[in-house]
Structure 1
Amino acid sequence: MNLIFGSIFLFILIIPGLAFRYSYLHGTYTKQSFKISAVDEIFWAILPALIFQLAGILVIEHLTPYEIKLQLIYQIITESDTINFELIHSSLLYFLFYLFTMIGAAVVLGLSVRYYVRKFRLDLKYSPLRVNNEWYYLFSGEILDLEKPGESKNIDLIQVDVLMQTGEGPLVYSGTLKDYFLSRENGLDRIYLSQVYRRKMQDDLTPNQPNVGYLERYLDARYYSMPGDLFVITYDKILNINITYHVWSNILEDEVNANEQHTE
């Protein structure tokens, strides 16, 4: 019985670390909060949990008339037969108040840290601050900021070209990225595209053929417009992905040049 009680109590002490980690990782920024392995999550939550618990002890012992019974905590964790359950019972409400206060502080701190990390792009400067989601940096264009800070702010449209193997052979689906979702293992699960056109892979342009541009693919006989508002592609069907970051001024310039070549 003491073994179970000690394990549960140890897990309770780690909860503030889990709350901090969850609040930092949760949101549109990551698309995925926790990995599939609970052991991994607990391992990475131990350090922040230890910091929170040490900070809590210092605050209580220096700013309040209460005292933390470290000996009792040690007895509970080590499953000692001399545990004073009467003391535990009399301190239960105070402990619950302390626990929920710590969890609330952990959540607020996690959200605050994430806010300032994203505001100042610290995750781009320091890799340990990056979440386990390479797809965010690719599909937001922030991967460009690794070499030229602020470059992603100029992006107006993200074009995604997906190569898929079908019964008709290799097909290229080209569209505007609308959204994406990750799998439980933090891999890409599916992507949502709009304004999708498809063509056969073998129908590539020859060196002398003009490219009509992304916005005027309907003028290119190689492309077929896919009906519908959103086109969903699952990752297990994808052979390759090409991502193009467009700026409106460059798109319009390319369209003008393509039209001039087309009319010549």
Structure 2
Amino acid sequence: MNIALPALIAFLLLLPGFIFRTRLKRSERTSLDFSPFGQVVAEAVLWSLMAHLAWLALSAVVFGQRFAPLVLMELLSSAPSIQADATAAVAAGFGWIAAYFVSLFLASFALPTLARLIISRYRLDRSTARLGPFFRFHDAPWYYLLTGADFKQEDAPDFIIVSAVVEIAKEAVLYVGVLDEFFVNAEGQLDRMVLQGVSRRPMVADKPGPDAPDASDSERFYEVDGDSFVLRYSETITLNVQYVKITEEQGAP
């Protein structure tokens, strides 16, 4: 009794769904997908079913071939004689079957990648968008926080200012700079941020109270030399994110 062939056939049939699901997701965790096993399989089976339905309809037009359910059932059979007859039938149409699966695998990789680019480009995954809950990448919270992807295109921030408190020699120090890029680790946690135009000050030099003499930011802050400042998230105590949009003043010349 040959059980290797049915297992291989099932793998080939379900593989497009797993490829599609992986390419469509924007996930910050790369070490292991901890989604419930039933959810992963259900999504992959659903995507595989829709992909095969679309490709079977396309193959009938392009290749002039139609799906033969009996041959598939015979391939999944455990009887060697039945498998042999089905294998001979597959060999007779090997050309179009190979083209079917190769094109399906390529499409399962390319189409969701394109769909993800369109979703991000037109911000269809915003929390306030009509179809936001459907298109939203729920496994990428840092992406939405540190890119301003939840804003409409016309309201998107021109830059993002990050303020972080770091403990240095048992003293809290505030760093402020413009976010250039950020990186997450394999577990999906924020690993480090690259800032530009960074200034720092100790927290004891905080803004004066209403009764204290005023002090400008230039007196309380001093610039940090360098082109790019790398701030590790594991060393920060608190983090503040400010979205800045540059607009023209009314009546400005």
Q: How does 1:131-150 map to 2 (within 5 A)?
A: 131=137, 132-143=139-150, 145=151, 149-150=152-153
Q: Structure 1 9/235 Cα, relative in aligned 2: closer, same or farther at 3 Å? A: farther
| Counterpart for residue 234 of structure 2 | 236
Deviation (angstroms), 1:23: 3.9
2:32 to 36, 60, 78: 36
Deviation digits for residues 150-199 of structure 1 (CA, Å, limit 9, x no counterpart): 4633x222110112234333322211100012223333222111122222
Equivalent residue of 2:194, what SS?
Answer: strand
Letter in 2 for 1:105: A
Q: Structure 1 247/119 Cα, relative in aligned 2: closer, same or farther at 3 Å? A: closer
CA contact (8 A) 1:35 1:41 kept: no
CA contact (8 A) 1:172 1:198 kept: yes
2:111 to 99, 109, 112: 109
Identity of aligned residues (%): 22
Letter in 1 for 2:146: F
* Counterpart Cα distance in 1 of 2:7 and 2:205: 62
1:225 aligns with 2:223: yes
Letter in 1 for 2:170: E
Letter in 2 for 1:178: D
Letter in 2 for 1:66: Q
Letter in 1 for 2:162: V
CA contact (8 A) 1:32 1:186 kept: yes
Deviation digits for residues 237-263 of structure 1 (CA, Å, limit 9, x no counterpart): 23221011123459x9xxxxxxxxxxx
Structure with the bigger percentage of helix: 1
Q: Please give the TM-score of this superposition, normalised by the length of structure 1.
A: 0.73
Letter in 2 for 1:231: F
| Counterpart for residue 255 of structure 1 | none
CA contact (8 A) 2:184 2:191 kept: yes
* Counterpart Cα distance in 2 of 1:249 and 1:67: 59
Q: Which runs of 5+ in 1 are unaligned?
A: 253-264
CA contact (8 A) 2:123 2:153 kept: no
Deviation digits for residues 85-109 of structure 1 (CA, Å, limit 9, x no counterpart): 3334444443221112112333443
Deviation digits for residues 206-255 of structure 1 (CA, Å, limit 9, x no counterpart): 2236474xxxx5x224x3433322122233223221011123459x9xxx
Q: Structure 1 112/207 Cα, relative in aligned 2: closer, same or farther at 3 Å? A: same
2:135 to 129, 134, 137: 129
* Counterpart Cα distance in 2 of 1:73 and 1:231: 59
CA contact (8 A) 1:2 1:76 kept: no
Deviation digits for residues 110-163 of structure 1 (CA, Å, limit 9, x no counterpart): 2443344334432122212111212222222233x3xxx44633x222110112
Deviation (angstroms), 1:59: 3.0
Q: Structure 1 97/210 Cα, relative in aligned 2: closer, same or farther at 3 Å? A: farther
* Counterpart Cα distance in 1 of 2:30 and 2:41: 10
| Counterpart for residue 201 of structure 1 | 203
Q: Which runs of 5+ in 2 are unaligned?
A: none
1:152 aligns with 2:155: yes
| Counterpart for residue 192 of structure 1 | 194
Equivalent residue of 1:171, what SS?
Answer: strand
Equivalent residue of 1:142, what SS?
Answer: coil
Q: Please give the TM-score of this superposition, normalised by the length of structure 2.
A: 0.75
Q: How does 1:55-74 map to 2 (within 5 A)?
A: 55-61=54-60, 64-74=63-73
Q: Structure 1 56/165 Cα, relative in aligned 2: closer, same or farther at 3 Å? A: same
Number of residues paired by the alignment? Answer: 236
